[in-house]
Chains A and B, each alone.
Chain A
């Protein structure tokens, strides 16, 4: 597995897309910091960008890589290798290289602008952590989609749809439900509903940092317990980790059964 991971990783590191991705974040970081010199404000802006953009890129890139390396995968499958290690290796290679681009791309400008000397270090590490988790989650989901669909066009379609659903449509449906059932107590529901969407979960983690004063304005006791204490942070973080494990597990399960 490690060998395949290494191969995928180096392959990707040499590829143009990794550089484009890396340069994009580098540019974003520098432009943001150039426009306003305040590190903590730049972190806030980045958070908004990251929870939307990272899933999109991870999904598209995951699907693309899987389809492109299909022939190589088939070659590997002919060798006496464990199936799970082949797919896991590829998955970790893709997710790892994407995460590396993210870390370096954003890390460099912030380091140059004196990250360690500012109070934003904690927020920034959380931002990177959330970015990494989202990369792993959405690459995993993308691999699942690609594995289930032989047809590339279909696969891409589903992948984009998945992103659109998680990033926009889910919240729309969520809002409609909340308004339709506004007569009922909805605290528990609204908290539960966020758990089923990794993008919402990341958003909550960020809200807990940024908008805590607004969130405490709501009177519900469940909300207050969840948001006002460390509990909310712990539960969201745990759920996010669960989201990382689930696609991987389903991937290895599917890979075992798949007939190539």
Chain B
């Protein structure tokens, strides 16, 4: 080792020591039998960058204000009981970490959005491994950025939309990572409004009243590998641009207005490698343009894709459509979208030259889906021989379905 290198090592060690020293400065123990009995008291006496270790017990506190960079660390999930009086934590400082708390009984209000943890105009926060029950809003991020919301369990008992809140709510926030959370029984599992460059990964959102994940006016976001199951609708993406949706699973979103995914006024998005299984409608598309759908699996849905007007230049390629009652439904006979090289389990053509591509183009829109759009009661005639006959004749010479809506390269084998 040369002299110069030794200097470097010395300086690095010095820097490390300097860096560690202030963090180690203080830990404050909070427990029902300690000197510090309440969390708020602990925060008040703490220095910046101290750690509050909150021991097991019940802390009946609400409107706790965190106004300096602190770490709150719960041991064995201490219960913070808001007694339904208001919000529980409010973070107004940068660099706050909350970990391992069990927060219950957030007050329901019709005038303000009480949350278990609210972050206001702050940066670099970390909300990790907490549990929430009986809540109004779970985690409310307001004009905040560069934070992490990781591995939280949110379990609500929402019954009506008007008096319930959202699990994780992002409002005018950006650059936030939301990952591995488990959200159940709230209004919207994760809600984004005016929130840009958010990454949402590996969350599970189930049994929520309205949507598993809801975007409004939020651009440049990525969500991937999430599970949305049994929600009013899986994911609603509205009025947003440049969203990437990859590797998510949308399952069992059942009901008259239930969708796996609802796209409304979405432009330039990318939807790849998702699984839509047993939803009433897999994807409902309205007024959305220039979206790429690639490598998705649509399995056993009522409608795999329902296109309602004003959708231009969308490209569907290399998707699998398996055993859906209707693969595709259109409400007009004009088509500006392309469907190339998908696998359709309802394809009845052949492949004589054995190149893996069917020799006869496939027409995914059935006449019956038109009839159902017009007179919904006719749904009861699904799978009757008569319907199969008229579907067949329409397929041979299309009159009602868009003439150019064909997959000219239907795959013969399931696309892996």
Contacts and interface: CB of A to CB of B under 8 A. Distances in A.
A48 B386 contact: no
A35 B395 CA distance: 25
A211 B325 CA distance: 6
A171 B381 contact: yes
Interface stretch (A1-9, A89-97, A198-206): A198-206
A216 to B, nearest CB: 5
B348 interface: no
Interface string B201-214: 00000000000000
A191 interface: yes
Contacts of A211: 302, 325, 382-383
B281 A179 contact: no
Contacts of A44: 323
A213 B280 contact: yes
B384 interface: yes
Nearest to B386: A171
B256 A224 contact: yes
A214 B366 CA distance: 15
A203 B386 CA distance: 12
B16 interface: no
Nearest to B279: A213
Interface string B316-330: 000000010110000
Nearest to A173: B386
Contact of B377 (A169, A190, A224): A190
B376 interface: yes
Interface string A185-211: 011011100100000100110110011
Say what secondary structure dominates the interface of chain A.
helix
Contacts of A167: 385
Interface string B372-395: 001111111111111101000000
B132 interface: no
A219 interface: yes
B301 interface: yes
A192 to B, nearest CB: 11
Nearest to B306: A217
A217 B282 CA distance: 11
B378 A178 contact: yes
A211 B379 CA distance: 10
A182 interface: yes
A218 B256 contact: yes
Contact of B278 (A175, A182, A213, A224): A213
Contact of A200 (B256, B280, B374, B384): B384
Contacts of B258: 216-217
Interface residues of A, number: 38
Contacts of B301: 213-214
A115 interface: no
Contacts of B376: 218-220
Contacts of B300: 213
Given A182-B375, A190-B377, A224-B256, A214 B280 contact: yes
A27 interface: no
Of B255, B379, B385, chain A has the most CB atoms within 10 Å of the CB of: B379
B378 A175 contact: yes
Nearest to B252: A213
A168 interface: yes
B262 to A, nearest CB: 13
A211 B300 CA distance: 8
Contact of B382 (A169, A189, A214): A214
Nearest to B326: A214
A204 B386 contact: no
Contacts of B14: none
Contacts of B293: none
B383 A216 contact: no
B254 interface: yes
Contacts of B380: 190-191, 194, 204, 223
A214 B303 contact: yes
A204 B382 CA distance: 9
Contacts of A189: 377
A217 B377 contact: no
Given A200-B384, A224-B256, A217 B375 contact: no
Nearest to B322: A41
Interface of A: 41, 44, 48, 52, 167-169, 171-172, 174-175, 178-179, 182, 186-187, 189-191, 194, 200, 203-204, 206-207, 210-220, 223-224
14 contacts: A44-B323, A168-B386, A175-B371, A179-B375, A190-B378, A206-B383, A213-B280, A214-B301, A214-B325, A214-B382, A216-B258, A217-B379, A219-B257, A223-B380
